[in-house]
């Protein structure tokens, strides 16, 4: 590993190597299958890298030896999850990996239950409506109804964004135990994605507390310039916040004040309706 790599880069590589879990996370060695983890490390190496990867790239990104990486690459290619260019010998993901994502969407009860409520919110606002869930320090978009109007940001299902600077992430942080929220921020690489991004952990937590008191969270161009978002929490049958509904609109067609006045009531109502439908508080 290069001595010039920053601490954040080292941490990011370590998280990748551990398939997104923090080093030291509780693992039962009697049940844990290391070879499965290594196979997933190879697949994760392609995440957020819009190009093909060589054997050397995979070995470097996963920390495996070239011989180990070659065996996993061959196996995944034989199973149809990777493709290899015969001339360059470089690898890319195959469409078969989409099977896992669509299987999740077909089998997740929350996504199925939320569908008609999100659709109704989209019809009422004529704007983009999303359902997100928290996965570690990131939110994942699991359902989405894009606006027919011009949108400032085009996000696809399965996309991940940092929780600290998004409205849905902030409202889910707001309903976490404070110490758990602090730990989550501590293992997050907090950077200014735009000139408006809040990067101070203490101020992020204060904004989350304000969102909890209001019942909804706001993000004013903190993730993408020109994108305003309002989010409210979805609760499960135990009363735990497990997801968030948000409406995203473009600036300057919307201001933060008009979004709060006109969209927040719809977002809160939709989130409560979904919570009730899944047996939540």
Question: What domain range is 138 assigned to?
Answer: 108-277
Whether 11 shows a pLDDT value over 50: the answer reads no
pLDDT value of residue 23: 42
Count how many domains the chain has.
2
pLDDT tens-place string over residues 140-191: 999 999 988 766 577 888 899 999 999 999 999 999 999 999 999 999 999 9
Distance CA 221, CA 208 (A): 16
Same domain, yes or no: 174 and 207: yes
Q: Please state, rounded to an integer, the average pLDDT across all residues of the chain.
A: 88
CATH value at residue 17: 1.10.10.10
In a domain, 2, yes or no: no
Domain membership flag for residue 103 = no
Answer with the one of 97, 121, 139 that is the final residue of a domain: 97
Q: What is the pTM of this model?
A: 0.79
| pLDDT grade for 4, boundaries at 50, 70 and 90 | very low
Same domain, 219 and 92: no
User: Does any domain span residue 1?
Assistant: no
Q: Give yes or no: residues 71 and 163 share one domain.
A: no
Q: What is the mean pLDDT of residues 52-60?
A: 94
Burial class (CB in 10 A: 0-12, 13-18, 19+), 22: middle
Q: Quote the pLDDT of residue 20.
A: 53
Q: What is the CA radius of gyration of the chain?
A: 20
The CA-atom distances, in angstroms, between 196 and each of 33, 45, 165, 264, 269 are 43, 31, 10, 21, 28
- Which residues have CB under 8 Å from 193's CB, separation 6+? 162, 165, 222, 223, 224
Mean pLDDT of 1-16: 39
Which CATH number characterizes residue 156's domain? 3.30.450.40
Residues 86 and 182 in one domain: no
Q: What is the pLDDT of residue 249?
A: 94
pLDDT at 150: 66
């Amino acid at each position: 590993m290069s001595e010039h790599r920053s601490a954040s880069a080292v941490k990011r590589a370590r998280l990748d190597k551990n398939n997104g879990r923090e080093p030291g996370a509780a693992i039962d060695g009697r049940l844990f299958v290391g070879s499965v983890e290594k196979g997933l490390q190879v697949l994760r190496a392609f995440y957020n890298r819009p190009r093909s990867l060589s054997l050397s790239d995979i070995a470097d990104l996963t920390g495996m030896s070239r011989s180990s990486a070659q065996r996993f690459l061959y196996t995944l290619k034989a199973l149809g999850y990777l493709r290899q260019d015969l001339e360059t010998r470089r690898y890319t993901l195959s469409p078969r990996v989409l099977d896992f994502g669509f299987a999740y969407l077909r089998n997740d009860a929350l996504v199925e239950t939320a569908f008609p409520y999100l659709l109704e919110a989209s019809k009422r606002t004529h704007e983009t409506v999303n359902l997100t869930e928290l996965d570690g320090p990131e939110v994942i978009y699991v359902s989405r109804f894009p606006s027919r109007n011009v949108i400032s940001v085009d996000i696809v299902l399965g996309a991940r964004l940092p929780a600290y600077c998004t409205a849905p992430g902030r409202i889910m942080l707001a309903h976490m135990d404070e110490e758990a929220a602090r730990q989550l921020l501590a293992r997050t690489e907090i950077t200014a994605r735009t000139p408006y991004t809040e990067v101070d952990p203490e101020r992020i937590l204060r904004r989350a507390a304000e969102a909890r008191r209001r019942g909804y969270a706001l993000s004013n161009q903190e993730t993408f310039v020109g994108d305003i978002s309002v989010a409210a929490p979805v609760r499960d049958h135990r009363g735990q916040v497990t997801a968030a509904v948000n409406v995203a609109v473009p600036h300057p067609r919307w201001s933060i004040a008009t979004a709060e006045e006109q969209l927040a009531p719809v977002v809160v109502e939709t989130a409560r309706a979904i919570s009730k439908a899944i047996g939540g508080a």
